[in-house]
Chain A
């Protein structure tokens, strides 16, 4: 009854979207404010454009191999050893990324809301549900993202819009400052959040219309990007750029300032945090799933069930490595830099090889 190609374009977009919206949502406005002051929304916008370009590079390449995931056709393009090295590198990146993401989540969770829960337990529980669900097939993987996406976007937009009632538009002026080094660095940092859109390489072989991979990504990045923009506008507009730079979690603060009526719905931040757990889960789930599938390909296993179990201690250790919050952020920024280079560079390299081979083939045949 089941056909392998089951993932619709919309569902692929949902996977990417819910992956992108994650742990960064809380501190994102601070980075943007630091980078661009009152033109923070514009910094974010540039970051979104950058990440779309790198996504386009990857997705349009994968689209040409609609039956295979990246790590399979890369062997043909680059040869086994080199492809193995790159796959290993990407595997390490996603393992570390899962660890650091879940660590950032643990830090926020234990300092802000779940104060009595030890950070190890918080992290371990989160990883455990990721491990349990990473054993399932890619189709079920897309179901999960598709189900949770409305639960993430709806309330977040609602809360942000409510908090925007108190916005002072003067705080957002001037909209544009001279693009400086820090401006572009901010834009680059913003693009890190979108790196998990790499997951498209897993989805393409199962998509009903693999040709629409780029369209799905564009839709996803647009939705997630708009959400991030909205959050930046709300935070900077509410507190002003200087104040936003000082707040550790500006989004949470703006959610806190949003109250509906007197009494019952005073604390919207609680609702926000509850839903934020879901958005972090979907993000870590994707990176964890990617890491498990990459490891499975490295070891040539049949499916990712066993590798997802092996991965659990690895990710847990990498999550516990940083000693404090600041180290976590430094590490994740470095990791972001490295992965931007590796992922984009790899895609570029594969593109070059692909074009080279095609020219060669043309030369040989004609």
Chain B
């Protein structure tokens, strides 16, 4: 028998179960209250003892109950043992021989029964026994494992989390078959009692980090945790910052990679998202594709994403400041073309850009909320038709439309939705600053944003790591993504216990061979490189 979740402490004395089945049932039903799906099933245990089962039919599997509990309990046991004199032995007999259930426990206090019943357990009460048997029969239908909606990949696993915690933990265990992988589960939320799982790799993750994450979770005071997003808001370092300091992901493979780097993951029952802490700036611009593809492509795509990011943040501000303050900075031909396009527009550039940006945001929000079939149509109508018409009507110049389109596309290219929103938000103050003070205002705004990023921390790790504070070794997985066989160490800014990804006995000769010989090393030079040893270890 496995002792499972710890129930709220119950006062001894009056709270204890009595020997009378009717008394016990009465007080239990009084605690549970009226409910349509509450089932009380009376039956004769082993054909002669009065017994009752109490459960919620909506939470348990009725077939399993019939097959594994009712059937063996109603049948007379072979050998006809008689428990009339020794009813306490019967509980042992039921446990050890009769019921076929993996998880369960015995309880002596009435007050601990209702929480177990609402969790999906079945309570078995027997006349003359002052103990109740709790049997885990929980079965709730869930959708199957599907492709994650928010984090699509070209190449890589297609499975995403579902709502049920057990399934999600199973997805993690399946990928991380190591005894080092630890999961700590505790209920959270006074009303919802959602189970929250804290996952980490015991020999890798920094114990301080694990303790800190645990501490932050344990001090949460709320009545309901409905999604992982609720937890994120309680544990993040700086709630006023526009930048997310906790990464949420739908992908088990991504979570496992994070765990292997020494991070901590938090899963909540009922949420298809895992939270990963600490989360740093560059993490929000990395995708699974970066690692599953060959390293040159990975690096290139990552750089493209960085360009997209700077588009989405700076482009409109630069445009506004150059157009309205420093047109002399543009090449002459280009300036002439732009001013030609702007000829019919009555507004100053900053108003024009703001109008277009705001309508773009509205359009995007509308597209997300609509069903997919209509959403596609709306975006075409909005972008093409209205964009063209706005130019024709003199609301905006063609170059503004181009700039706004580039900005929007740029923000779509940021893999993490919440990080993209941060940049979307910050774009507006930058445009306004640029509209007021020109290029200088834009610079000031940029410095403010960068400073904010430099000041931010996530669980004690500087947000801009590994750029700041500089650890050259960790730069191998930042702007570029160097070959996997070159990244032999885990990121050091996480203060991990075990820094090497590979056992120390394997020399770093593989990288040397590839870099120097193009993989065609003859025996002689191979020996040479091996002799040179792991000197290339970064």
A132 within 8 A of B: yes
The verdict on A125 contacting chain B, using a C-beta distance below 8 Å, is yes
Q: Which residues of A contact B373 (CB under 8 A)?
A: none
Q: Of A117, A133, A140, which one neighbours B438 at CB under 8 angstroms? A: A117
Give min CB distance, A19 to chain B, whole Å. 16
Alpha-carbon gap, A41 to B273, bound state (A): 62
Which residues from chain A contact B444 at a C-beta distance below 8 Å? 125-126, 129, 277
Question: Is B468 in contact with A114, judged by CB distance below 8 angstroms?
Answer: no
Check B470 against A11 for contact (C-beta < 8 Å).
yes
Q: Does A1 contact B (CB under 8 A)?
A: yes
Contact bitstring B438-481, A, C-beta under 8 A = 1, else 0: 11110110011011001100001010100111100000000000
Q: How far is the CB of B466 from chain A (nearest CB, A)?
A: 12
Query: Which A residues from 62 to 116 make CB contacts under 8 A with B?
Result: 109, 113-116
Per the bound structure, the CA–CA distance linking A116 and B434 in Å amounts to: 12
- CA of A125 to CA of B439 in the docked complex: distance in angstroms? 13
As a 0/1 sequence over residues 343 to 359 of chain B, the CB contacts with chain A under 8 angstroms (1 = contact) are 00000000000000000
CB of A356 to closest CB in B, whole Å: 40
* Complex: chain B residue closest to A8, CB-CB: B469
Beta-carbon contact of A143 and B326 below 8 Å: no
Q: Is A274 an interface residue (CB 8 A)?
A: yes
Q: Which residue of A lies closest to B442 (CB)?
A: A274
Confirm or deny: B83 has a beta carbon within 8 angstroms of a beta carbon on chain A: no
Question: Which residue in B333, B438, B450, B455 is a CB contact (below 8 Å) of A116?
Answer: B438
A143 touches B439 (CB 8 A): no
Within B36-89, the residues touching A (CB, 8 Å) are: none
A263 to B330, CA, bound (A): 9
Are B468 and A147 interface neighbours, CB within 8 A?
A: yes
A-B contact count (CB 8 A): 85
- Complex Cα spacing A146 to B467, Å: 9
**Given the complex of chains A and B, what is the CA–CA distance between A268 and B104 in angstroms?**
75
The one of B331, B462, B470 in contact with A10, judged by C-beta atoms closer than 8 angstroms, is: B470
A277:B443 contact, CB within 8 angstroms? yes
Residues of A within 8 A of B448 (CB): 129, 132
Query: Are A143 and B454 in touch, CB under 8 angstroms?
Result: yes
A-chain residues with CB within 8 Å of residue B437 when the two chains form the complex: 114, 117, 121-122, 125
Q: Is A136 an interface residue (CB 8 A)?
A: yes
Indicate if A138 sits at the interface (CB-CB under 8 A): no
Q: Which residues of A contact B328 (CB under 8 A)?
A: 267
**A226 touches B (CB below 8 Å):** no
B216 in contact (CB, < 8 A): no
The docked-state distance in angstroms from the alpha carbon of A114 to that of B433 is: 13
Is B254 positioned at the interface, with any CB of A under 8 Å from its CB? no
Q: A1-B495, A113-B326, A114-B437 are in contact. Are A146 and B451 (CB under 8 A)?
A: no
Contact with B along A252-290 (1 / 0, CB 8 A): 000000000001101100100110011001000000000
**Residue pair A266, B470 in contact (C-beta under 8 Å):** no
> How far is the CB of B322 from the nearest CB of chain A, in Å?
9
Q: Is A222 an interface residue (CB 8 A)?
A: no
**Contact size range, A:** 35 or more
B440 touching A143 by the CB < 8 A rule? no
Give the nearest-CB partner of A277 in chain B. B443
- By the criterion CB–CB under 8 Å, are A146 and B470 in contact? yes
Q: Mark B93-129, 1 if CB is under 8 A from A, else 0.
A: 0000000000000000000000000000000000000
Contacts of B495 in A (CB 8 A): 1
Whether A143 and B468, one on each chain, are in contact in the complex, defined by CB atoms closer than 8 angstroms, is: yes
Contact B464 A136 (CB under 8 A): no
The reply on B208 being an interface residue by CB < 8 A is: yes
Q: Which residues of B contact A266 (CB under 8 A)?
A: 331
Min C-beta distance of A256 to chain B, whole Å = 12
B325 at interface by CB-CB < 8 Å: yes
* A2:B460 contact, CB within 8 angstroms: yes
Distance, CA A278 to CA B451, complexed state (A): 12
Q: Is A144 an interface residue (CB 8 A)?
A: yes
Looking across the interface, which residue of chain B has its beta carbon closest to that of A2? Answer: B460
Known contacts A117-B437, A274-B439; is-contact A140 B469 (Cβ 8 Å): no
Tell me, in angstroms, the Cα distance from A116 to B439 when the chains sit together: 11
Say if the beta carbon of A212 comes within 8 Å of chain B: no
Say yes or no: A147-B454 contact (C-beta < 8 A), given A10-B470, A270-B326.
yes
When distances are taken between beta carbons in the complex, the residues of chain B under 8 Å from A277 are 440, 443-444, 447
With a cutoff of 8 Å between Cβ atoms, the chain A residues found around residue B455 in the complex are: 133, 136, 140, 143
Whether B240 is near chain A, meaning CB under 8 Å from some CB there, is: no
B329 in contact with A140 (CB, 8 Å): no
Complex-state Cα separation, A140 to B455, whole angstroms: 6
Q: Check if A332 is an interface residue, CB within 8 A of chain B.
A: no
Q: Kindly provide the distance from the CB of B410 to the nearest chain A CB, expressed in whole angstroms.
A: 20
Kindly state the separation between the CA atoms of A274 and B326 in the bound complex, as whole angstroms.
12
- Report whether B462 and A143 are in contact in the complex, using a CB–CB cutoff of 8 Å: yes
With A2-B460, A147-B468, A263-B331 as contacts: A129 and B451 at CB distance below 8 Å: yes
B438 touches A114 (CB 8 A): yes
If the complex has contacts A132-B451, A140-B454, are A264 and B467 also in contact, measured as CB distance less than 8 A? no
Is the pair B454, A274 in contact by a Cβ cutoff of 8 Å? no
Chain B hits for A11, CB < 8 A: 469-470
Would A147 and B439 count as touching, CB distance under 8 A?
Answer: no
Q: Which B residues are in CB contact (< 8 Å) with A140?
A: 454-455
B326 / chain A contacts, CB cutoff of 8 Å: 113-114, 270
Give the contacting residue for B443; candidates A121, A133, A274; CB below 8 A.
A274
Say whether, besides A122-B440, A267-B329, A274-B439, A6 and B451 are in contact (CB < 8 Å): no
Q: Are B331 and A146 in contact (CB under 8 A)?
A: no
Q: Which residues of A contact B206 (CB under 8 A)?
A: 1
CA distance A133 to B329 in the complex (A): 30
How far does the alpha carbon of A126 sit from the alpha carbon of B441 in the complex, in Å?
A: 10
Specify which chain B residues have a CB less than 8 angstroms from the CB of A129 in the assembled complex. Answer: 444, 447-448, 451
**B281 CB to nearest A CB, Å:** 12
The reply to whether B464 and A117 contact each other, CB–CB distance below 8 Å, is no
Contacts of B460 in A (CB 8 A): 1-2
- The answer on a CB contact under 8 Å between A1 and B469 is no
Determine how close the nearest CB of chain B comes to the CB of A327; give it in whole angstroms.
23
A269, B162: Cα distance in complex, Å: 55
A114 touches B447 (CB 8 A): no
Report the minimum CB–CB distance from A329 to chain B (whole Å). Answer: 22
7 nearest A-B pairs in the assembled complex, by CB-CB distance: A1-B460, A277-B443, A270-B329, A114-B440, A143-B454, A143-B468, A263-B331
**What are 26 residue pairs bridging A and B, where the CB atoms are less than 8 Å apart in the complex?**
A1-B208, A1-B495, A2-B460, A8-B469, A113-B326, A114-B325, A114-B440, A116-B325, A117-B437, A117-B438, A117-B440, A117-B441, A125-B444, A132-B448, A133-B455, A140-B455, A143-B462, A143-B464, A143-B468, A146-B468, A147-B468, A266-B331, A270-B326, A270-B329, A274-B439, A278-B447
> A1-B206, A143-B469 given. 16 additional CB < 8 A pairs?
A1-B209, A1-B212, A6-B469, A8-B469, A113-B440, A114-B438, A117-B437, A125-B437, A125-B444, A129-B451, A133-B455, A136-B455, A143-B455, A143-B468, A270-B439, A274-B443
Residues of A in contact with B (beta carbons under 8 Å apart): 1-2, 6, 8, 10-11, 109, 113-117, 121-122, 125-126, 129, 132-133, 136, 140, 143-144, 146-147, 263-264, 266-267, 270, 273-274, 277-278, 281
